[in-house]
């Protein structure tokens, strides 16, 4: 068993590995974000992280930097080294060949192709392995990948911005701007990290958004619009962007073929999916998104889409901005009716975190 001093050292290096992993946020899908640090004689001799899907894994990049100094060293890694051939060779074998003496890992890989086999290979080669250090931080790092690889469906985050009395617009429909500048900038960071952002046709018609990422060197996610009756206007900004193939209109099988053809001529993608209660069925949509490698989805509104997603239990995480403003009872509610008649049936949130984003309050929680 590691001493308290050794455990503190392990945690320090694992947290550094987590910070390295986050440098590739939004660039590794459908692979997980992973960071690695190699330490020998109390000094860091190698650092690495998985930069992009198909590229060298974190431990390989760290080994390359460490060179001969990897022999007899300790590897700190956020996720169990892989033991199988994918687009790259097994990392466990590379660690053995390099002469790594100890491996301290954040957690076991949830991928069924690995799931402990990497640790087994290392132990068979005489490498001491410890796992579970900073496990909660490492698990949060790959929460989207964990769901995707085990359930074959994307991790869904619902983001809403409301006044303190829970309104997302005034009685006239005006909603710009509820949240402050810092909160809006944070949403662009999330768009940069997420694989897809999703809104309903009501939001498109009311706000005419672009749903792009507006930060330097940012990456545009897929833009998904729920539009069961194809009400989207041909002049909508979403249909006129430089990367039209990243705009996906999810509609139902009863949508007019002529309008589908007109949209497809603009370069956007139209998916005709099964309906449930007249709306695009969530399971079919999420399976379709998973099929194109979408690991994470950010739902940005509006109230009807938020309610539908919650009713159908497809939301994993909530990000709720509350601005220091009050609109009153004639404003638009942040979430449409959920049909909950008793407080005992209210949706219970877990692992709730309270923070600040400029003047706004930010509540993060899981369902």
The catalytic residue positions are: 59
For the chain, the C-alpha Rg in angstroms (whole number) is 23
CA distances from 93 to 30, 84, 133, 271 (A): 23, 10, 22, 43
Question: How many CB atoms within 10 Å of residue 110?
Answer: 18
**C-beta of residue 28 within 8 angstroms of C-beta of residue 78:** no
The answer, yes or no, to whether the previous bond of 177 is cis (omega within 30 of 0) is yes
CA distances from 314 to 152, 168, 287, 310, 338 (A): 13, 22, 12, 6, 14
CA distances from 236 to 7, 209, 233, 243, 317 (A): 55, 8, 5, 14, 29
Report which of 158, 161, 157 is spatially closest to residue 321, judged by C-alpha positions.
Answer: 161
CA–CA distance, 220 with 283 (Å, rounded to integer): 24
DSSP string, 60-115: HHHHHHHGGGGTT-EEEESSPPP-S-SSS--HHHHHHHHT--EEEES----STTTT
In a 10 Å sphere around its CB, with 0-12 CB exposed, 13-18 middle and 19+ buried, how is residue 201 labelled? buried
Report which of 117, 118, 111, 115 is spatially closest to residue 36, judged by C-alpha positions.
Answer: 118
CA–CA distance, 245 with 241 (Å, rounded to integer): 9
């Amino acid at each position: 068993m590691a001493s308290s001093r050794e455990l503190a050292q392990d945690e320090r290096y694992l947290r550094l590995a987590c910070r390295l992993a986050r440098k590739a946020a939004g660039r590794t899908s459908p692979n997980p974000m992973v960071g690695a640090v190699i330490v020998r004689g109390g000094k860091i001799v190698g650092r690495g992280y998985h930069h992009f899907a198909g590229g060298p894994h974190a431990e390989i990049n760290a080994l390359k930097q460490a060179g001969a100094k990897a022999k007899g060293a300790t590897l700190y890694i956020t996720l169990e080294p892989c033991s199988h051939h994918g687009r790259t060779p097994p990392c466990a074998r590379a660690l053995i060949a390099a002469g790594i003496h100890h491996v301290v890992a954040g957690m076991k890989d949830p991928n069924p192709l690995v799931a402990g086999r990497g640790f087994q290979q290392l132990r068979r080669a005489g490498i001491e392995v410890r796992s579970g250090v900073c496990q909660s931080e490492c698990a949060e790092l790959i929460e989207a990948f964990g769901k995707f690889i085990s359930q074959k469906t994307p991790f869904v985050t619902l983001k809403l911005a409301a006044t303190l009395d829970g309104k997302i617009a005034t009685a006239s429909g005006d909603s710009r701007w509820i949240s402050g500048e810092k909160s809006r900038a944070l949403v662009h960071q999330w768009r940069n990290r997420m694989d897809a952002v999703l809104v309903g046709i009501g939001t498109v018609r009311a706000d005419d958004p672009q749903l792009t990422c507006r930060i330097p060197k940012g990456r545009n996610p897929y833009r998904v619009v729920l539009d069961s009756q194809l009400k989207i206007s041909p002049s909508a900004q979403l249909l006129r962007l430089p990367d039209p193939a990243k705009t996906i209109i999810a509609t139902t099988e009863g949508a007019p073929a002529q309008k589908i053809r007109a949209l497809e001529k603009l370069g956007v993608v139209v998916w005709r999916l099964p309906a449930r209660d007249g709306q695009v069925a969530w399971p079919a949509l999420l399976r379709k998104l998973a099929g194109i490698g979408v690991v994470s989805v950010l739902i940005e509104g509006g109230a009807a889409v938020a309610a539908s997603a919650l009713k159908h239990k497809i939301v994993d995480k909530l990000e709720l901005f509350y601005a220091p403003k009050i609109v009153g009872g004639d404003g638009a509610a942040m979430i449409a009716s959920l049909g909950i008649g008793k407080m005992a049936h209210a949706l219970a949130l877990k692992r709730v975190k309270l923070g600040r984003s400029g003047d706004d309050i930010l509540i993060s929680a899981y369902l």
